[in-house]
Structure formats: C-alpha cells, structure tokens
Amino acid sequence: MKIGFYPGCSLTGASREYNESLLAIAKEAGIELCEITDWNCCGATAAHNLNKELSLSLPARNLALAELEEMDELVVPCAACFNRLIMTQHELDENKEIKIQIEEKLQMPLNNRIKILNVLQFIEQHIVSHLNTLIKKQLNFDVACYYGCLLVRPQKVMKSERFEDPMSMDVIMQKLGANPIDWPFKTECCGAGFSVSKPKIVGELSGKIVRDAVNRGAKAIVVACPMCHSNLDMRRPAIEAYLDMKVDIPVIYITQAIALALGLTPRQAGINRHFVPVNLPVNS
C-alpha cells in the first residue's frame, strides 16, 4: 500500500528520529510512505501571524503537489504542519474567493479533497490492525500520553469529541502493553514556539507537565509533535531550574514506542538521538 507523506522541516532536521521511526513501523506494516516531490515549508507557527495570503499559499502548494501525484491520503506527522495544512484546507473550502486567489498565485489547480491524516489517525487507520501479528515485545511500564495543543484543536475543524481528554494515543499504548496514566495535562501547552525566544516560560509550562507525569508514576512521556518533544526533552535544564530538582523521565514519540514493541532496535527507532537517555523495560 502506498500513502502520501509530507515530512515537513522538523522531520528532516531536528526531529529526524521521528521520521526514522515512522518510516520503520510503516515498512513493518507493509506501507510505503511516498514523500511529496518538491514539497516546501508549510509556514509553521510564523506565517499566519504575518501574512494571510502567504500562510495559505505555502500549505496549499503542498496539497496541490500531492494532488498532481494523485495522492488520496496524506500523512502529516508534525502537529504544527498538520494544523496548517488542515486549517488551510478548511479555509479554502469555506471561502471560494480566497481559493481562487491562491490557485492564481500558485498557478496550480487545487481540488482541496485530499484526506489529511495526523500521525495518530494514520496509526489508527493503517497500523493498529497489524499490531497483533507484529508486536514482539510488550512495553511493561506506565506512560503519560501527551497530545499537546494542535492535534485536537481547533475543535470545530478537528471535530474532536474529547478535545480536552483525548484517548486515541492511550488506546494505542495499551495495545503495546503499556499502562497510560490518568492525568490532567494531556493537552496543556508546553510553551510551543517560545522554545528559543523565551526558554524560561517553556521551562515553567513544560516543568508543570513533567512534574505531574512523574508524580503520577509515569516512566515515560509519549508525544506526537516535534515541538512538544523538543520542549520536554531538549529544554530539560530549564525545566529542572524551574522545578529545582533533577528529573530523568524520558520523552519518546508514539512511533518510537511502536517500533520498540515491534522488536526494532533502539537505533532503528532513533532512541539514541534524545537529550534525556531512554532506558525502558520491555518484555519479550
């Protein structure tokens, strides 16, 4: 099976372990993720604050390219990229005049009908059905499933029934043998794009998330967003300064958790690339 794939900037750079683990588990399930040819940056967190037309044109070009390659579904693992593409699709559906302007700007037709999947939707729809036969090791530990802001919001577009208490990642982790804890920080903000400009704020917001996960007995925090991972993992010094204590709970991507359960090596899952060392118990 072949499915369209938009990696975005993060998965080709700072979050390459996310890319590696996603491609690895897709291969195990017999799925080929076909990267959009000549894709461009989606504008991420900055463009829609500065220039409305640009903020729509950047994601729209990727959608138009995917249509030219006759992709019916498009997997977008980065939560920020997913948000920009799904919001652009929504806005172009709602405003036909803007859609015409964007098509003229791009000089490309845009049917705007590709099914856009975030990583959790992709796993639910294309990976979960294979897990019973693919799982080789049970993940025998408590986990905190952290969804962040962008996978479930805005609720009007995402149509999330449980946008304050999502469960899809929890269900996936249960299938891997892990025990998701019940906690109130699933969709709290980690500091997002303040990671570079205001790391102290990131330390405080992420620190509250990490502290609660540790207090509730979690042995790992599981994420599905490069920015969330960066803030919770790379900004650990700022977190520890805010908490005034050392915390060694690791942060892993949902795709890495699946890779470990499928028996792939830590290197194949990109575990070696983390700032906080990952050493989690698994049962054969």
Which residues span the domain enclosing 39? 2-119
User: Per the domain annotation, does 174 fall within a domain?
Assistant: yes
Query: Residue 228 is part of a domain; what is its CATH number?
Result: 3.40.50.11810
| pLDDT at residue 48, rounded to an integer | 65
With respect to residue 276, please indicate whether it lies within any of the assigned structural domains.
no
- 91: Cα within 13 Å, side-chain hemisphere: 18
Same domain? For 179 and 91 the reply is no
- For residue 274, is it within any domain? no
Q: Is residue 193 part of a domain?
A: yes
- The answer to whether 202 and 190 are in contact (CB under 8 A) is yes
In-domain check, residue 55: yes
64 and 160 co-located in one domain = no
CA dihedral 160, 4, 171, 14 (to 10 degrees): -100
- Per run of 10 residues, the mean pLDDT along the chain (length 284 residues) is 94 94 97 98 76 92 97 96 95 94 95 96 97 94 95 80 88 97 95 83 96 98 96 96 97 97 94 92 66
* Count of domains forming the chain: 2
245 domain residue, yes or no: yes
CATH of the domain at 81: 1.20.1050.140
Q: Considering just the CA atoms, what is the radius of gyration of the chain in Å?
A: 19
Say if CB 147 and CB 121 are below 8 A apart.
Answer: no
